[in-house]
Amino acid sequence: MNISEAGYVLIKRFEGLRCFAYQCTAGVWTIGYGHTSGVKKGDTITKEKADKLLEKDLQYTMSVVKSYVTVPISQGMFDALCSFVFNIGAGAFGRSTLLRLLNQGQYDNAAKEFDRWIYAGGKVLNGLRNRRAMERAMFQLDKM
């Protein structure tokens, strides 16, 4: 399974395109559509380079979802999980209650866990709240 166009659009929408390096809410230097590897202050890129970095980053993200999830999932679930992992990282996903519940086959309870991941720096961020609501809706769209 690979991320669908809907999943790709979701990630691009919430990450947004920035062709100059900036520090995200967690203080990590970021560029393009949420790319962080090797980014430093003052870096710039083109939209074309940002698209290529996103494709590369999504290959890794998809591999994480495929290797961590041990139960059958639908395309919508896969897309939602890719967006989620892209945003929080593989380590946090691997330790998450969402993943544990999902791998126990508790799909509905796993879906509820998206709502817990709306904080950055101890504060609720509306952007994260909106993203998680979209991810949860996509996850629940075509249930197993």
Active-site amino acid positions: 15, 24
Burial profile 129-143: b = 16 or more Cβ within 10 angstroms, e = fewer: eebbebbbebbbeee
Instruction: Answer whether 82's CB lies under 8 Å from 62's CB.
Output: yes
**CB count in 10 Å sphere of residue 81:** 29
With 0-12 / 13-18 / 19 or more C-beta atoms within 10 angstroms meaning exposed / middle / buried, residue 89 is: middle
The Cα–Cα gap between 37 and 30 comes to 8
CA dist 57 to 15, 37, 79, 102, Å?
13, 9, 14, 23
**Running DSSP on this structure, what letter comes out for residue 41?**
T
